[in-house]
Amino acid sequence: MASDWVARQRQRLEAELAAALPAAPAGAPEARLYRALRYSLLDGGKRLRPLLCLAAAEAASGGAAPEAAWPPATALELLHTYSLIHDDLPALDNDDLRRGRPACHKQFGEATAILAGDALLTLAFAQFGDRRLAGRGAEYSAVLAAAAAAMVAGQSADLEAEAGSASAEQVEFIHRHKTAAVIRAALVLGGMAGGAGEDAREALGAAGEELGLAFQIMDDILDVTGSAAELGKSAGKDQAQRKATYPAVFGLELSRAQAEALGGRALERLERFGAAGEPLRALARQMYRRTR
């Protein structure tokens, strides 16, 4: 059931993402930028954040995701793709691979990659002018803006920290800001679209933060144990760059236990949504038990 649900959502999501990108006129001076945008956004990927948003909207509404869920879902993937392009740049995480292909800056050059990231971030917030939001665009935009700002703060802290000297508190700050903040926003935005009350929205936000932290811990673990072919990006890079990660601070065994505990707590919070919350719970289980 979960795979069928994902397949249905992804089919429409790909169409929404394609529609979010402007079409480049033939021979336009900025044609290279348009190619970089399409290359980076429309190449597949897990689409985890928009799927979480749609699943949270279903959980909150008790039925199919309302139309209001689609603009924030699209915005989340635009924001996420911008962050991947910029994270891969030599000045930040310095990765040549993304989703099994050359990173944007390797394919189009650093200058175009920077501009592509800028454009995607801008287009993310353009989604909140969509009529399907019935005039609530500013409310949705504020949630995403807070998450985007937290993500930048987390990236900055990541650059300052080094394995071997970083404390557990520093590593948790990085992960909660760089990764968990946007996943939290995905569940909150979905809850808003689905008409969640204050208590339900708080439960979704707390579960999203726990899942986001568990997801990043697993990402750190897979960087140690996985291969580039499995991950679609360079493996072993965290250790080579002396990144402050959970395995570097706690070791693999304890890191796995922490991810499992966080994921379990998130699932408990999501039980309140009953049958309508099963797609969201299925995604949650995949997040902290993933192998790639």
Domains and CATH numbers, the chain: 2-19+30-288 (1.10.600.10)
Inter-residue contact 280 to 52 (CB < 8 Å)? yes
**Which is nearest to 44 in space by CA: 186, 208, 232, 286?**
232
Taking only the tens place, the pLDDT of each residue in 161-216 is 865 577 889 999 999 999 999 999 999 999 999 999 999 999 999 999 999 999 99
pLDDT recorded at residue 229? 55
Percentage of the chain beyond pLDDT 90 is: 76
pLDDT recorded at residue 233? 54
Greater confidence (242 vs 57) lies with: 57
Taking only the tens place, the pLDDT of each residue in 113-128 is 999 999 999 999 999 9
228-to-68, 96, 177, 248 alpha-carbon distances in Å: 37, 11, 25, 20
Taking only the tens place, the pLDDT of each residue in 21-32 is 988 777 788 889
